[in-house]
Amino acid sequence: MRIAIAADHAGFVLKEKLRQTLVDDGYEVEDFGPANAESCDYPDYAQPVARAVAAGRADRGILVCSTGIGMAIAANKIAGVRAAPAVSEDEVRLTREHNDANILTLGARYVDGEQAWSMTRLFLHTDFAGGRHARRVAKIAQMEEAPSSERP
């Protein structure tokens, strides 16, 4: 599985831990940065991960910032991305099963390295449930394609 990963300065340390653990577990990881913990802007790092996932160059994405929320907002601007912030394993499982989320966003203020790895592993190994949820995810994709004048 190919994983795209990035962070901002607040998520740099946690991103580095996750990246190394993913590599150690045999995942193919593309790190979109940053290379250090100097102040930076999270949209600059969310965008390349989101584009890689949307284009199919990565199977899933992991983004880390202070709360996980800013990264999710930025990543969700890219068509085909379903980025979800989570602070619990239950949220991770449900967003994969029900929403077919393809990017997990984590808040370094709220999860430690062990929790983040547990949630990441769950994110990578939980399948989309399909069924009634597939209809809903398809409606999201239609919203991305419809011109704003045609949206309800």
**Positions marked active-site:** 65, 98
Query: What are 103's two structure tokens?
Result: 């990017």
Q: Which strand ranges, in their side-by-side order, compose the sheet holding 2-7?
A: 28-31, 2-7, 60-65, 103-107, 83-85
Q: Give the span between the Cα atoms of 5 and 1, in whole angstroms.
A: 13
C-alpha span between 121 and 139 (Å, rounded): 28
CA-nearest of 60, 70, 9 to 30 is 60
CA angle 51, 57, 59 (to 5 degrees): 95
CA distance 21 to 69: 23
Contact 87, 107 (CB under 8 A): yes
